[in-house]
């Protein structure tokens, strides 16, 4: 993998020295890739909304623009907020599962401990999912994750590509008969985004990222079974 400091062509993923050239007086010229002879990054002229739409559509060019040619450093905060959304959903389902009208039960479920527990379980499950992906990638393609910067870049890509979990809150607030189906679609969308992030970051084909995700899901489900054996609701 190339050094992180270089830009990347959004079309062919080759390294580029610059995205555009400034001729002063407001005259800019987008750099052309020496490999594919296309603009290195056409998205630098696009509105952020258009870039977001392209990212939602899981276009590889949009992912390369975000991961390689921009300085986005809020991936950690975004991921924590996603975990909070998932914890809130589980906490809400835990309350709904209790049909007791005993005031003591209502007070017990209102305690913050239940929410913190759900947040801890969600964090543990997601950590095991990410660890499973890294193990699968390192086992099959160790040359792609040789340096610390390679791990950091892939982790950043996986965290950013999990933004779909933000949709959990609207799905719960506007609850209807199709809410369970919406939650399934959100899960599938996040997995598709994760797969695209792996493919773009490591420049892989479409199949291998799904194998790594499958291994991550196996490890995640193993943690879920372990938590359930302890007696905790998930």
- Domain spans, the chain: 7-69, 76-230
Q: Is 107 exposed, middle or buried (0-12, 13-18, 19+ CB in 10 A)?
A: exposed
> CA dist 69 to 24, 34, 43, 63, 193, Å?
22, 17, 10, 10, 18
Q: What is the pLDDT along the chain (234 residues), one digit of tens a residue?
A: 444 447 899 999 888 888 888 777 667 788 899 889 999 999 988 999 999 999 999 999 999 999 999 988 888 899 999 999 888 888 887 766 555 555 555 555 556 778 888 899 999 999 999 999 999 998 877 777 878 888 899 999 999 999 999 888 887 777 666 678 888 999 999 999 999 999 999 988 889 999 999 999 999 999 888 888 886 665
pLDDT tens digits, 90-149: 888 776 655 555 555 555 555 677 888 889 999 999 999 999 999 999 887 777 787 888
Whole-number pLDDT of residue 233: 62
Mean pLDDT of the chain: 85
Task: Give the single-character DSSP code of 100.
Answer: -
Neighbouring residues of 20: CB distance < 8 A, sequence distance ≥ 6: 28, 29, 30, 31, 44
Counting runs of H as helices and runs of E as strands, what totals does the chain give?
9, 4
Strands 15-16 and 28-30 come out as: unpaired
CA distance 1 to 27: 33
Cα 188 to the center of its chain, rounded Å: 12
């Amino acid at each position: 993998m190339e050094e992180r400091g270089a830009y990347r062509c959004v079309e062919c993923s080759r390294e580029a020295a610059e995205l555009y050239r400034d001729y002063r007086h407001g005259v800019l010229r987008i750099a052309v890739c020496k490999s594919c002879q296309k603009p290195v990054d056409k998205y630098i002229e696009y509105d952020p909304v258009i870039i977001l739409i392209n990212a939602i559509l899981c276009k590889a060019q949009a992912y390369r623009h975000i991961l390689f040619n921009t300085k986005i450093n809020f991936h950690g905060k975004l991921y924590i907020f996603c975990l909070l959304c998932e914890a809130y959903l589980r906490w809400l389902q835990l309350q709904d599962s209790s049909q007791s009208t005993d005031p003591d039960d209502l007070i017990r479920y209102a305690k913050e401990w239940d929410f913190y527990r759900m947040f801890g379980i969600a964090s543990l499950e997601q950590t095991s999912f990410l660890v499973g992906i890294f193990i699968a990638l390192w086992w099959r393609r160790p040359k792609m994750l040789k340096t610390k910067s390679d791990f950091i870049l892939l982790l950043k890509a996986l965290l950013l590509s999990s933004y779909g979990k933000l949709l959990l809150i609207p799905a719960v607030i506007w609850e209807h008969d199709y809410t369970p189906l919406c939650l399934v679609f959100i899960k599938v969308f996040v997995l598709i985004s994760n797969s695209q992030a792996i493919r773009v970051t490591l420049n892989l084909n479409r199949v291998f990222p799904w194998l790594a995700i499958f291994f991550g899901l196996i490890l995640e489900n193993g943690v879920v079974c372990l938590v359930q054996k302890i007696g905790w609701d998930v």
